[in-house]
């Protein structure tokens, strides 16, 4: 059976990159797959999170997902820490994945920066927990943005090594699904940097909580270059900001970047930004309003998440029990 697992860190609010690269695709895949969508708070604390901020962000991101169309009745929306089976399988994977594999992870290098010795052990082992998230449900497909590709390759390697070490076909090799024109949305201040929750400038990203005026202002202020938009896709060479803004337009319009180039060929940025802003507001406005409605009732969000966790635990418990038996752990009597 095809099953989707995907996750997002509640380290801040969702931004346009999370939405176009991941959440919007999740919503579209709900018709074809059984889905689990997870707020990965255990991953979040691999870097310091003030406890009250973590609690607030977890509810906010849940509200954003529900508002964007995640169907928590048909599918499962839950918080990672409410299913301890993830952390248990992650420990087993700490003993399967090799240090050499983790040493190659570019995201650890980026996040740990120069001060590697002082990064948390959790940040280093982060990809093993991510493998466990997916494989504790034997999920087969993982819709994510481009930046998660390397982690998914590691999850496949770990699944394969476990299967071959124990001589059993336990885990499927999960397939990444990197879909659409928004798989790598870049910063509005610097077209060579990924749009990210951790960028100190709020003008670098559009948040799912931004109102129409803020979206418009951020897009008007977005970095550009002095030339008009190119006539052909080749003309985007060396113009990362133009490429990014046209890519965002394409993703919002459900088209391709080449189509966006054709539509705005030779136009000035100012005119294009106006249309981009209208499209962004039209897409995000209704989600924003719905999100506010959910956030007005935190108890409802908590109840949805608790129910999701209950169902997630029920799905993963037999997988964890199977794995523990294969590894040779005694069963409690
Ligand atoms: P996170 O929280 O950084 O991002 C959540 C999702 O959003 C995508 N994304 C982007 N897509 C396009 N452009 C961007 N600028 C951009 N920024 C983020 C990410 O690719 C991701 O799909 N490690 C994961 C969370 C995770 C997970 C998992 C994902 C934990 N366990 C298991 C899949 C399966 C992360 O930090 O995502």
**pLDDT tens for each residue of 95-107:** 999 999 999 999 9
Are 153 and 18 part of one and the same domain?
Answer: yes
pLDDT at 12: 87
Residue whose CA is at the smallest distance from ligand 1 atom 34: 6
Can 111 be counted among the known catalytic residues? yes
pLDDT of the residue at 186: 98
Q: Is residue 315 part of a domain?
A: yes
Tell me the pLDDT of the chain averaged across its residues.
97
Mean pLDDT of 164-172: 98
Q: How many domains does the chain have?
A: 2
pLDDT band, residue 212 (cuts 50/70/90): very high
CATH number of the CATH domain containing 278: 1.10.240.10
> Which numbered atom of ligand 1 lies nearest the CA of 143?
22
What is the value of pTM for the model shown? 0.96
Which candidate in 111, 149, 193, 274 is catalytic? 111
Q: Does one domain contain both 46 and 162?
A: yes
CA of 2 to the centre of ligand 1 (A): 21
Residue 204 lies in a domain: no
107 and 67 together in one domain: yes
Residue 194 is a catalytic residue = yes
37: domain CATH number? 3.40.50.620
> What's the average model confidence in pLDDT over 124-145?
98
Atom of ligand 1 nearest to the CA of 183: 12
Range of the domain at 255: 210-293
**Any domain includes 69:** yes
Asked, for residue 80, whether it belongs to a domain, the answer is yes
Element (H, E) at 78: strand 76-79
**pLDDT (tens digit, 9 = 90+) per residue, 244-288?**
999 999 999 999 999 999 999 999 999 999 999 999 999 999 999
259 and 136 assigned to the same domain: no
Are residues 315 and 232 part of one domain? Answer: no
Separation CA 243–CA 317 (nearest Å): 46
Regarding whether 313 and 276 lie in a shared domain, the answer is no
Query: Is 1's pLDDT higher than 80?
Result: no
**Assigned domain for 225 exists:** yes
Asked, for residue 201, whether it belongs to a domain, the answer is no
Tell whether 195 is covered by a domain.
no
Reduce the secondary structure of 295-324 to three states and give it as a string: HCCHHHHHHHHHHHHHHHHHHHHHHHHHHH
143 pLDDT band (50/70/90 cuts)?
A: very high
Query: Does 306 lie in the same domain as 288?
Result: no
Taking CB atoms and a 6 Å cutoff, what residues make up the pocket around ligand 1?
Answer: 5-9, 17-18, 21-22, 40, 43, 130, 133-134, 142, 144-145, 147-148, 151, 182-185, 194-195
20 vs 43, 48, 104, 143, 145, CA distance in Å? 21, 27, 27, 11, 8
């Amino acid at each position: 059976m095809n099953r989707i697992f995907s996750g997002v860190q509640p380290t801040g609010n969702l931004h346009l990159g999370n939405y176009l690269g991941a959440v919007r695709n999740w919503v579209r895949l709900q018709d074809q797959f059984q889905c689990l969508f997870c707020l990965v708070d255990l991953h979040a604390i691999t870097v310091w999170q003030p406890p009250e901020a973590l609690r607030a962000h977890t509810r906010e991101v849940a509200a954003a997902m529900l508002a964007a169309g995640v169907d928590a009745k048909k599918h499962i929306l839950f918080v990672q820490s409410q299913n301890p089976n993830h952390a248990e399988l992650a420990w087993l994977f700490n003993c399967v994945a090799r240090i050499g594999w983790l040493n190659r992870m570019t995201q650890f290098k980026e996040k740990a920066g120069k001060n590697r010795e002082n990064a948390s052990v959790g940040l280093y082992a982060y990809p093993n927990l991510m493998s466990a998230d997916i494989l504790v449900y034997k999920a087969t497909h993982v819709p994510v943005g481009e930046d998660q590709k390397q982690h998914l390759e590691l999850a496949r390697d770990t699944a394969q090594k476990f299967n071959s070490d124990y001589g059993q076909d336990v885990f499927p090799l999960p397939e990444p699904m990197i879909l659409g024109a928004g798989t790598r949305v870049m910063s509005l201040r610097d077209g060579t940097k990924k749009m990210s929750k951790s960028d100190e400038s709020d003008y670098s990203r559009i948040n799912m909580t931004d109102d129409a005026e803020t979206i418009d202002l951020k897009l008007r202020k977005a970095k550009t270059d002095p030339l008009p938009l190119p006539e052909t896709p080749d003309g985007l060479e060396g113009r990362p900001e133009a490429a990014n803004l046209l890519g965002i337009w394409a993703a919002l319009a459900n088209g391709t970047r080449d189509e966006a180039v054709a539509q705005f060929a030779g136009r000035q940025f100012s005119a294009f930004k106006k249309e981009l802003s209208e499209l962004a507001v039209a897409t995000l406005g209704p989600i924003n309003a719905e999100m506010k409605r959910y956030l007005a009732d935190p108890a409802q969000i908590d109840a949805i998440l608790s129910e999701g966790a209950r169902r997630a635990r029920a799905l993963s418990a037999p997988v964890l029990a199977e794995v523990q038996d294969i590894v040779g752990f005694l069963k409690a009597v």
